[in-house]
Amino acid sequence: MSTPMIQISNLMKSYKLGGEIVHALNNVSLNIDKGEFLAIIGPSGSGKSTLMNMLGCLDRPDTGNYLLDGKEIGKMNDNDLATIRNQKIGFIFQNFNLLTKLTALENVELPLIYSGLSAKIRREKALESLTKVGLKDRAGHMPTQLSGGQQQRVAIARALAGNPSILLADEPTGALDSKTSAEILLLMKELNEVGNTIILITHDLSIAKQAKRMVQIQDGQLFENEGEQIGNLTIY
């Protein structure tokens, strides 16, 4: 068996909140292989966001190790983390987080700008990425001229543009109606089938169920019991 793409072991992260120390992540260990479709489910306040920030290299753990493609993230400085985010992580947010003053194409180009590609290659890659999500013909539109589902597709195209190791989706359907949600989830499944590693973070069990593998986070601790009861939620 090859080494997992993500190896997290004994991760600890705590915050001071009004003089009280909150253990947002308490001894979390998790391995994720290349090509997986993993859902992380948990109620608000469970440490879900902290885990996502950690996985997305936006934050560093207090103690513990996080190996991404064999590189230790915890020891990196801000600049190296930015490079890692740029090359290895594709973020998909709940409220899309597109830049409203840029067109769809320019939004998709943005991560490629920061990786220093030439304008021509950027354009090619961004168009290719938009084609993958089926929005090639909307390339020149501003985000405000697109529907919620289309905006999220542009955001997915942006996440895909740099050909990252993992797609990190934080409640990607949280701001969409159920029909559009289904479409987005279908797109993510398709992307997973062609080899993209996807980590889906949600509080919605029905959405988490779409993933191939599911872990639950509660009070900063991670549980993974396949086919068994997880907390007070029953799976399968």
- Provide the CA 204 distance to its chain's centre, in angstroms: 16
Q: Is 174 in the site for other proteins (CB under 8 A)?
A: no
Rule CB under 8 A: choose which of 47, 143, 149, 162 binds other proteins.
162
**Which region among 13-21, 76-84, 123-131, 196-204 touches other proteins (by CB under 8 A)?**
76-84
Q: Kindly tell me which residue out of 26, 64, 114, 203 binds other proteins, with binding defined by CB under 8 A.
A: 114
Least distance from other proteins to the Cβ atom of residue 111, Å: 4
CB of 56 to other proteins, least distance (A): 7
- Choose which of 22, 82, 175, 235 interacts with other proteins (CB under 8 A): 82
Query: CB-side exposure of 122: number of CA atoms within 13 Å?
Result: 16
Binding test (CB under 8 A) with other proteins, winner from 7, 14, 97, 221: 97
Q: Residue 220, interface with other proteins (CB under 8 A)?
A: no
In the list 53, 65, 165, 221, the residue contacting other proteins (rule: CB under 8 A) is: 53
Distance between CA atoms of residues 56 and 170, nearest Å: 10
Nearest distance in Å: CB 118, other proteins: 9
Q: How far is the CB of 196 from other proteins (least distance, A)?
A: 17
Considering beta carbons, is residue 99 or 186 the nearer one to other proteins? 99
In order, the DSSP letters of the chain are: -PPPSEEEEEEEEEEEETTEEEEEEEEEEEEE-TT-EEEEE--TTSSHHHHHHHHTTSS--SEEEEEETTEESTT--HHHHHHHHHHHEEEE-TT----TTS-HHHHHHHHHHHTT--HHHHHHHHHHHHHHTT-GGGTT--GGGS-HHHHHHHHHHHHHHT--SEEEEESTTTTS-HHHHHHHHHHHHHHHHTT-EEEEEES-HHHHTTSSEEEEEETTEEE--TTSEETTEE--
Which range, of 33-41, 94-102, 208-216, 223-231, touches other proteins by CB under 8 A?
94-102
Q: Does the footprint of other proteins cover residue 66 (CB under 8 A)?
A: no
78 binds other proteins (CB under 8 A): yes
Binding site for other proteins (CB under 8 A): 53, 56, 58-59, 78-79, 82-83, 85-87, 91, 93, 97, 99, 101-102, 110-111, 113-116, 119, 158, 162
